[in-house]
Amino acid sequence: MASKKTAIIEILFNKRWDKDKSELSRPLVTLQEVSAAIREYNDEYRDQKNPLSHIQPANFFKDFIRKKASANKNWPASVLGRGYTAKQVTGGNACFEFVRLGEGQDIAFPPISIAGPGAQTPRHRIESASLPLASRRLGRADEPWLVQVLVRLRVIETHLALFSTRRIVQIDHLQMSVKLRKSEIDALFLAVEEINGGRTQEVIVCCEAKGRSDDILEDQMLSQVEAVFGSRGITQDFVIPMAIKALAPSEVWVLEFDTVARSEVTSRRPLAIVSDAIYEFVPPVPGIGE
């Protein structure tokens, strides 16, 4: 059975569909339009149980694509049949955008290549005794808590020191939950790396955190890189994308992707994993991977 969001997306698509030209008049969908479509659906099915809320439309598409398997299952067949999928867009009152399927693409959201760690992925134990006992008692399974633990225990710094091929000589945490015009980044760092001839250069490290049941979305990470380069005050020419996914209780998987240069950000080349490792927190940290 399709979700209620399936019908909402179909409503939004049909309002834009030009039958004579077989194309959309306006692919971008705003937050206000999502709220209006939800209210329209709720009015039509007044007797439904647990109607969708129109109060927080920003979460509508973000939650829809959180898991690609369910997103493909619930994507409207009529929209797919007309050759369209969608991507998340943030900032400027935008929610998401309908986009044409790629050549040879027959499902809305192709399977991700970032499926999980391999048999050769190294494992490393990290102490968590330095976390205040009070904060551990309030541990949760959400992403903000995961990011807080990563920052407090210097997991990103540890990974770049032990498993990256880059020669990082200094790294500073800048901010958590960075809300940019077209994206949101869970954690942002400024790294200094040594390059040829003993010279150094600054590199931005942007991190995406995922819970145990959520997929790492390559499009989302590429959008974050674009948003970093488009931000005021960012003059650095390179970004290292990183992802952290909770795997099991007190276990996380950290991935470092190949550096993206400012000059190539619009090409949207696929991200390549250059290092990864599994970290176990000792003693266990409540909420992580639960």
Strands 23-24 and 17-18: antiparallel
Residue type, 118: G
Per-residue pLDDT for 11 more than 90?
Answer: yes
pLDDT the model gives residue 28: 92
Span 82-91, average pLDDT: 85
pLDDT digits (tens, 9 = 90+) for 94-123: 889 999 988 888 899 876 556 678 888 999
Per-residue tokens: 145: 């808590």
pLDDT the model gives residue 249: 95
pLDDT digits (tens, 9 = 90+) for 133-179: 888 888 888 888 999 999 999 999 999 999 998 999 999 999 887 77
Per-residue pLDDT for 3 more than 90?
Answer: no
Question: SS3 for 48?
Answer: coil
Strands 238-248 and 260-261: antiparallel
CB neighbours (10 Å) of residue 117?
Answer: 18
Pair 109, 75: CB distance under 8 Å: yes
The rounded distance, in Å, linking the Cα atoms of 186 and 234 is 17
The rounded distance, in Å, linking the Cα atoms of 94 and 108 is 20
pLDDT digits (tens, 9 = 90+) for 239-289: 999 999 999 999 999 999 999 888 887 766 778 889 999 999 999 999 999
pLDDT the model gives residue 93: 84
Per-residue tokens: 92: 């400027």
Per-residue pLDDT for 34 more than 60?
Answer: yes
pLDDT the model gives residue 181: 62
**What is the overall mean pLDDT for the chain?**
87
Question: SS3 for 276?
Answer: strand
For the chain, what are the domain ranges? 4-100, 123-282
In this structure, of 49-63, 197-211, 223-237, the range with the lowest mean pLDDT score is 49-63
Compare 12 and 54 and report the one with higher pLDDT.
Answer: 12
Per-residue pLDDT for 24 more than 60?
Answer: yes
Residue type, 243: A
Residue 139 φ then ψ, to 5°: -60, 140
Per-residue pLDDT for 23 more than 80?
Answer: yes
Question: What is the pTM for the complete model shown?
Answer: 0.68
Pair 111, 86: CB distance under 8 Å: no
